[in-house]
Amino acid sequence: MAYVIKSKKSEITLPYLPKKSVLKDGTNVLIDYFDSQTDEAQIHDIMRYIVNEEGNSYPQEDLSNIEDFRAYYLTHEVFVCRDPSSGLVLGSFYIKPNFPGRCSHICNAGFAVQKEARGKGVASVMVENYLQIGRDLGYKASFFNLVFVNNKASVRLWEKFKFQNIGTIPNAGNLKGIGYTDAKQFYYDLTSINKLV
């Protein structure tokens, strides 16, 4: 039987959000809570492009249906990296338990960056904040199950932030335009970060 992780939003409030951050080109951005009114359609478009068009970084084959997107991406905490002047979502990430029950202290996250915003440091700003947010939400560790080896930007990102490469799954995904591809697994001990709340 596959794991069933029930949808649940945290009751913990993070008083430091929204938080100002700066991209590597000097652009000001905000890391903030997801707002379903303004952000859902934008994030769905970003994820639909990543999954349906690119097809080489997430295991899903189709996220066209809004309900499928919601069931995957919006079941727990979601945060955005937003352009404060336009309200445009440049990227987003969810945080949720990687496993149920007795292992739910280990979180997983999914990151998505708008195509036009790539290469500007959006992902780095989100990861920096993700580590603190994950810790403040009470998680003890972060574990990424499937980081496909062809996703060099993602692999570099986890190495940059000192995640431990703890394993490789051979032929983990049959990726669009690539075929069967190995995936790395990355782990981070969140207890090394002091809680802010």
110-125 pLDDT tens trace: 999 999 999 999 999 9
The chain-wide mean pLDDT, for the chain, equals 96
Q: What pLDDT sits at residue 2?
A: 64
Q: What pLDDT sits at residue 6?
A: 83
Record the tokens describing residue 137, joined without a space: 């939400």
Mean pLDDT of the 79-101 span: 97
Mean pLDDT of the 181-193 span: 98
Token match 């290469």: residue? 119
Mean pLDDT of the 60-80 span: 97
Q: Residue 128's Cα: distance from chain center in Å?
A: 12
CA-CA distances (angstroms) from residue 55 to 30, 83, 183?
A: 28, 26, 14
Please answer whether residues 89 and 39 qualify as being in contact, where contact means their C-beta atoms are separated by less than 8 angstroms.
yes
Structural domains of the chain sorted by starting position, each given as residue range(s) with its CATH number in brackets: 19-143 (3.40.630.30)
Rounded to two decimals, what is the model's pTM? 0.95
Please answer whether residues 106 and 143 qualify as being in contact, where contact means their C-beta atoms are separated by less than 8 angstroms.
yes
Q: Are strands 141-148 and 164-175 parallel, antiparallel or unpaired?
A: unpaired
Q: What pLDDT sits at residue 149?
A: 98
Q: What pLDDT sits at residue 4?
A: 73
Please answer whether residues 29 and 21 qualify as being in contact, where contact means their C-beta atoms are separated by less than 8 angstroms.
yes
Instruction: Please say if the pLDDT value at position 1 is more than 90.
Output: no
- For the sheet with 141-148, list strands across it: 19-22, 28-33, 77-82, 89-97, 106-113, 141-148, 179-189, 164-175
Q: Which residue has the higher pLDDT, 110 or 7?
A: 110
Record the tokens describing residue 51, joined without a space: 């999954």
pLDDT in tens, 127-175: 999 999 999 999 999 999 999 999 999 999 999 999 999 999 999 999 9
